[in-house]
Structure 1
Amino acid sequence: MTQSRALHFLRRATDPRRASYLELFFDLAFIFALMRLSRLLLSDLSLIGAARMLVLLAALWAVWVTTAWSANWFDTGDRVTREFLVAVMFGGLLMAASVPQAFDGHALVFAVAYLAVHVGRGFAFVFVLRGHPRMWRSARIVAAFFFTGFPWIVGALISEVRLPLWALAVFADYAFTRLRWPVPVLGRSTWEELRVIGEHLAERYQQVFIVTLGELIINVGTAYSNSGFDPARSAAFVLAFVNAALLAIVYFIPREGRLGEKIDAAEAPGRLAMDVAFLHLGLMASVVATAVGDALAIEHPYGRAAPSLVAVTIGGGGLFLVARNLIAFVIDRRPPWSGLIGLAVLIALVPALLRLPPPGSVLATDLVLGAIVAARYAVMRRNDRRSGNG
């Protein structure tokens, strides 16, 4: 591979910045993974069950993020890039299929598929970029996974230490990424080597969040379809739908539309894009938890809510607000007061919600999210009036 061929393989500034159809096709595997994760959490609402779900979600999210960045760096119209995306999608689908038994009989399948996606893609990029300076970026990524791959494999082979080793491994993977893959001899990547096209990545983050909300809708619709259409369950279904709609509105208004511009204008675009990617992991986890809580409220709308149901419902809404507030702060460097107040209100309502039926927790989340939306629209209208008067 000559350097001129490598230049053809890399994305150019004049190339289209919109997501390709193949990237959207890849998101289908992520939808399936989220569905498996919500079922896994639903089967075990303990702290251990939540920890397992988070570890698996973090691994799957790492695959999605690195794929999005690869499509940002490399020309998705190139045949080689398309083949890589299809191969990664297959690996992600294999990971998703093994999720229900990832901490049991299919642990090795999950771990090997995870490492194969990252290491295989890295080796392939080293090969196609040989002779070009960007080759070393991919080489560092491969080398980093040789360090973190050990706890993945050992954890897959020894069930007694699987959860702590996998938690350590995925934390190390994220730490290596944030530190720009520092490895002996090869050094670490510079922020210039990690420069990204903000418009493309912002669009991909928005798209995957909508995909995640799609999993919530599927989960809620399935729960309602499988239960009786009595008034209590119907009311819980309406509240769950409103919940999904409010999550989308809070996510997109008012800051998210400027994310691409902020990334492109940043001193180190890769650093801002990376921080936002990490924070989106919290958003993914919050929607999975919310999907489980909403489904349980539909299936069991009577009697006092179990502590686990309140925890997963309010925890999902609270985690969403934490992650969204942090993203807003990273983008604008201003604390989103409405989100912080909403989070405090949710926490304060927990004792009362433990004495109410399960749909009460969904209603409380809807009221808090609705108040945040109303507050943001009020601020926007006030600013518009001031601009008009000026």
Structure 2
Amino acid sequence: MADTPADPVLRAESSSQRATFLELFLDLVFVFALTRVSQRLVEDFTTDQRILLSEAGQTLVLFLALWLIWASTAWVTSTLEPEAFAVQGVVVVTVVCSMVVAVTLPQGFGEGGLIFVAGYLAVQFVRVGFFLIATRGRVVGDPAAPRRVLFWAGLTAVPWLIGGMAGESLLRGVLWSVAVGVDYLGFTLGWPTPRLGRSEYGAQPFAGEHLAERYQQFLLIGLGELILVTGVAFSSGGGAFEPGRTGALGLALLTTVLLWRIYFYRAGHVLPAAIIKSRDPTRLGLAATYTHLTMIAGIVLTGVGYELSITHPFGHIAPAWLIAILGGPALFLVGRAGFEFLVFGRISRSRVIGLVLLAAAVPVVRRLPLVAVAGTTAGVLLGVALSDLRRSHGKALEAPAPPI
């Protein structure tokens, strides 16, 4: 890494690996943003079940756009000096634009479509423009990087804008799905651009410990959102400690603790060391983006399942609700298994067994009350966590062995 005043925007070796207060401030916006995703999903599961797939697909597109904003910002602050004025300005712009995206997300496929797009595209264009102005165009390290990002942003701005102006939600969904898919492709490949090449992640200064900490922090944000959503669901019913509602709330808290335990034991805890030890740290860090995306999606879906369980503890189960109550933890375990492979080069049997049990529970629990289904989910996660505890008892802690 550069460590000279001539490259004030690049990370120096002496730079702190810890997240800055400004980055943590950005995370507060995403706590709120995730609650808006949950709000949309609850509406998706409680409206006409015949259009659930379409509605949930729309929410997924909005969630993917939201995650890409956070992930790309985490990469910026992991490759550049987060205390530099230009980089701090990029984060501030992201805070403002992300708030616009968050408040319009529930109506992203309704009247708020164009405003949502404006906030999302502003992240792409305004923060790159601010960075170029703040550095007076003297971009160090990879001078063509901002132009590559702008090229890809301009490429996807067309379907984003046309979709925002489209009055028909199906057309909007198709255009925005293509747009967000291309955005992810550009991010993954380093924004390859004619005559400008592409950004070589491995050739840039890179703070692996910082990026690992940001992933850990966002995972905690997801768990915090789960607590927030279930707490609000319980208190909105008057806060009365009725047996069913109280039981569902207790199971939600237990599940939150179990998800935390399963994540941080042991891969989540040693992720910084795994990135440092990796033969290709930037590739591992990029792969971890997608495993964490899967786990966060699972946590959000789990929160929706528990909100339904708290609101209707003994109510009739709509078959689609099982997608949230059982599918959320299953999605988390899928992401956690992939994450474990990145860190240790193997997958624990407990993750696979947990997935099998959740799938096998679907035909069994369909006639049970929601609180009982939630209890089944918590029981499976408890088994996974206990398996981890038993495997580690009396043994030396496993060191990371990334296959990348």
TM-score bin, normalised by smaller chain: over 0.9
Are residues 141 and 267 of structure 1, via their aligned partners in 2, closer, same or farther at CA, if it must alter by over 3 Å?
farther
- Counterpart code for 1:27: D
TM-score relative to the length of structure 1? 0.94
2:151 to 139, 143, 146: 143
Equivalent residue, structure 1, for 2:162 = 154
Mapped to 1, the partners of 2:397 and 2:348 lie a distance apart of: 21
| Structure 1 portions without partners, runs of 5+ | none
Q: How does 1:97-116 map to 2 (within 5 A)?
A: 97-116=103-122
Could you report, residue by residue, the CA deviation over 1:61-80 in whole angstroms, capped at 9, with x for unpaired residues? 11101111111122222233
Task: Give the deviation of 1:220 after TM superposition.
Answer: 0.6
CA drift of 1:150 comes to: 1.4
Count matched residues.
383
Q: Percent of pairs identical after alignment?
A: 36
- In 2, the alpha carbon distance for the partners of 1:17 and 1:384 equals 27
Q: Cα 1:195–1:276, aligned 2, differ >3 Å: closer, same or farther?
A: farther
Three-state SS of the structure 1 residue aligned to 2:327 is helix
Query: Equivalents in 2 of 1:382, 1:175: separation in Å?
Result: 45
In 1, distance between residues paired with 2:192 and 2:213?
A: 29
What corresponds to 1:317 in structure 2?
A: 329
Aligned-partner residue type, residue 269 of structure 1: P
Give the secondary structure class of the aligned counterpart of 1:135: coil
Contact 1:126 1:139 in 2 (8 A): no
Choose from 93, 96, 112 the match for 1:87: 93
1:14-46 Cα shifts (integer Å, max 9, x gaps)? 111101111001001101110111011111121
* Structure 1 match to 2:285: 273
Q: Distance in 1 between matches of 2:243 and 2:206?
A: 50
Contact preservation (8 Å) 1:303, 1:356: no
Alignment-mate amino acid for residue 19 of structure 1: A
- How far apart are the structure 2 equivalents of 1:38 and 1:247? 18
Contact 1:198/1:259, CA 8 A, preserved across alignment: no
Contact 1:224 1:299 in 2 (8 A): yes
**218, 225, 231: which one pairs with 2:243?**
231
Deviations along 1:94-133, one digit per CA (max 9) or x if unpaired, are 0000011110111111112111111222233345252534
Gaps of 5+ in 2: 46-51, 399-404
Aligned 8 A contact 1:198 1:263 in 2: yes
Work out the CA distance in 1 between the residues paired with 2:186 and 2:103: 27
Correspondence 1:134 to 2:146: no
Give me the TM-score of the superposition, normalised by structure 2. 0.91
Task: Give the superposition deviation at 1:195.
Answer: 4.7
User: Pairwise mapping of residues 47-58 of structure 1 onto structure 2 (< 5 A)?
Assistant: 47-58=53-64
- The one-letter amino acid of 1:218's match is L
Query: Aligned partners of 1:42, 1:252: CA distance in 2, in Å?
Result: 28
Partner SS for 1:218:
helix
Runs of 4+ deviating beyond 6 Å:
none
The alignment's C-alpha RMSD in Å is 1.8
Measure the CA separation in 2 of the matches of 1:192 and 1:27. 26
Q: Give the drift of 1:257.
A: 1.6
- For residues 103 and 326 of structure 1, what CA distance do their matches in structure 2 show? 32
State the one-letter code of the partner of 1:293: G
Mapping 1:327-342, distance limit 5 Å: 327-342=339-354
Match of 1:219 among 204, 229, 252: 229
In structure 2, the CA distance between the partners of 1:192 and 1:95, relative to structure 1 (3 Å rule), is same
Query: Which has a greater percent of helix?
Result: 1
